[in-house]
Structure 1
């Protein structure tokens, strides 16, 4: 819509909007949304349902913590304590009303149900990634697993939508935002435009690589070592996520598994 807005003439109505869309579509430099296949839509649906379960589970955990806080108990964060909730309550040696324990039992069952549903969605995505050729190729890239590979298949749809890997990284919002004027280039922080969910997965993948610099991080050679020594950690994470996105485009474009360059 933001690309059509400059072509709207006069007041806004359906007829003027249609004329603006037709005018914008005739521009040679106009960008268009790629049409997804049914398989890609199904994968995206699985991801959306999984994200919904995760949000519900997080809300459920927060609700349990808030209830206990009203009775003077501060439940530690994390799924380990949440799974062993009633054992933790027994260790506190504090008597709670039986009716409260019944309510906690009910909401804890809901938490367990949501965890089971998330596992089912993970199994579905794992099966898809194992049976899809492009997903298997994407998983050869360090830091990319079932979630990132399947979401790439669903949202990118075709590597031909981008001229090169940098365009795909820009579409994901992993490049600097520009504020240049008068021939003076000025680069700000990352633009954070485009697909937020896929960008988040690439950033998490970069964090996973940086957590094991002596194993998975080795494939990026001296570039990653020098960057880690001179830049803040979060800057290195975004830079590595940008590189992972470019590599993912190359893998999709050439349909070849990732091969690490030989280090001198």
Structure 2
């Protein structure tokens, strides 16, 4: 490890650093335009940065200058901040945290990994807008005594029929407004489909995500986002660590040598956890009457623990399988499941 250690608190425009020079603490404030020029002339150092917005970009840029950069989990850093919250105290907390042997780190993502995440985030935003629009349409129609059952497909089916029905109580203006809302709804559908196609293309262009597609319950969306999140898997010591980072392992409240396990922790990346569990549900719905090793295990698990817990168990298993495939650079082998 480098002898020179720096805690760097990043922001949009003003950056704060904390280090020791000649056994004395040194604090410095840097503007965004000054940051890279300053570190280009600074001795090679170990730089700790809290994993937040822009952290991966600055980590890549500082690595290009020859420095060693470690991204730290924000929850982990918080426990090292002493006193009131301010930028220099945050930088000092990062400095203390990055020197610990058991620090919680975050893998630095490449541009390609961030591109995949960009498409997924855009799609998430579009889906949220569509859901909000559908709920608004259903709510406004219910005020006029017109009820559409729950579900996006029901709105697709029923709204055009409602607009064509001349016998309901909708006024001319109301029909115009609901027609505009339906056009927005159709446009969002089209945008989401475009992003789905883009995700499929990204998945097929990435060697790791293509291998992930062989895992039961893993489709292009899950494969691509996990590939962008896990990288080569070296950021996690074990498959359980990766599953824990997604919140699909039991929480603990143990004391006095007595192990007490709770429900899943639900920490970490909610989006990936949701995709893994939805994929697992699809596998569970189709595992009956199958005689392969995985299906027999799932059938027994459903009988013993119920459908939902079996779905989470399979999501946990799949997270560990994906980690093993990434770290060992191997194909999926159903015989090892």
Change (3 A) 1:216 1:257: farther
Instruction: Give the equivalent residue in structure 2 for 1:20.
Output: 93
TM norm structure 1: 0.93
Asked if the contact 1:209–1:216 (Cα under 8 Å) also holds between the matched residues in 2, the reply is no
Instruction: Give the equivalent residue in structure 1 for 2:127.
Output: 54
Instruction: Give the equivalent residue in structure 1 for 2:195.
Output: 121
Asked if the contact 1:142–1:216 (Cα under 8 Å) also holds between the matched residues in 2, the reply is no
Change (3 A) 1:217 1:73: farther
Asked if the contact 2:280–2:315 (Cα under 8 Å) also holds between the matched residues in 1, the reply is yes
Asked if the contact 1:209–1:217 (Cα under 8 Å) also holds between the matched residues in 2, the reply is no
The alignment status of 1:36 with 2:99, answered yes or no, reads no
Change (3 A) 1:170 1:99: same
What do residues 153-179 of structure 1 show as CA deviations (whole Å, max 9, x unaligned)?
A: 222223111122111111110110000
Measure, in 1, the Cα distance between the counterparts of 2:99 and 2:301. Answer: 44
Measure, in 2, the Cα distance between the counterparts of 1:217 and 1:243. Answer: 19
Change (3 A) 1:5 1:71: closer
Change (3 A) 1:62 1:185: same
Change (3 A) 1:61 1:13: closer
Measure, in 2, the Cα distance between the counterparts of 1:127 and 1:47. Answer: 13
Asked if the contact 1:137–1:255 (Cα under 8 Å) also holds between the matched residues in 2, the reply is no
* Among 131, 135, 139, the residue aligned to 1:66: 139
Measure, in 1, the Cα distance between the counterparts of 2:215 and 2:102. Answer: 32
Measure, in 2, the Cα distance between the counterparts of 1:49 and 1:113. Answer: 15
Asked if the contact 2:217–2:280 (Cα under 8 Å) also holds between the matched residues in 1, the reply is yes
* TM-superposed deviation, 1:13: 3.2
Instruction: Give the equivalent residue in structure 1 for 2:332.
Output: 258
The alignment status of 1:135 with 2:214, answered yes or no, reads no
Asked if the contact 2:230–2:323 (Cα under 8 Å) also holds between the matched residues in 1, the reply is no
* TM-superposed deviation, 1:246: 0.8
Instruction: Give the equivalent residue in structure 1 for 2:57.
Output: none
Asked if the contact 2:117–2:228 (Cα under 8 Å) also holds between the matched residues in 1, the reply is yes
Measure, in 2, the Cα distance between the counterparts of 1:106 and 1:217. Answer: 51
Measure, in 2, the Cα distance between the counterparts of 1:150 and 1:35. Answer: 17
TM norm structure 2: 0.74
Measure, in 2, the Cα distance between the counterparts of 1:219 and 1:108. Answer: 47
Q: Structure 1: which 5+ runs fail to align?
A: none
* TM-superposed deviation, 1:15: 2.8
- CA-atom RMSD, angstroms? 2.0
Measure, in 2, the Cα distance between the counterparts of 1:172 and 1:58. Answer: 25
Change (3 A) 1:95 1:15: closer
Give the number of aligned pairs.
263
Measure, in 2, the Cα distance between the counterparts of 1:16 and 1:81. Answer: 54
* TM-superposed deviation, 1:70: 1.2
Q: Which has the larger radius of gyration?
A: 2
The alignment status of 1:111 with 2:185, answered yes or no, reads yes
Asked if the contact 2:204–2:210 (Cα under 8 Å) also holds between the matched residues in 1, the reply is yes
What do residues 207-255 of structure 1 show as CA deviations (whole Å, max 9, x unaligned)?
A: 0100101478845143222211111211111111100111111111222
Larger proportion of helix: 1
Matches of residues 1-264 of structure 1 in structure 2 within 5 Å?
1-84=74-157, 85-90=159-164, 93-214=167-288, 218-261=292-335
Asked if the contact 1:143–1:205 (Cα under 8 Å) also holds between the matched residues in 2, the reply is yes
Change (3 A) 1:68 1:6: closer
* TM-superposed deviation, 1:262: 8.1
Greater length-normalized contact order (CA 8 Å, ≥ 6 residues apart)? 1
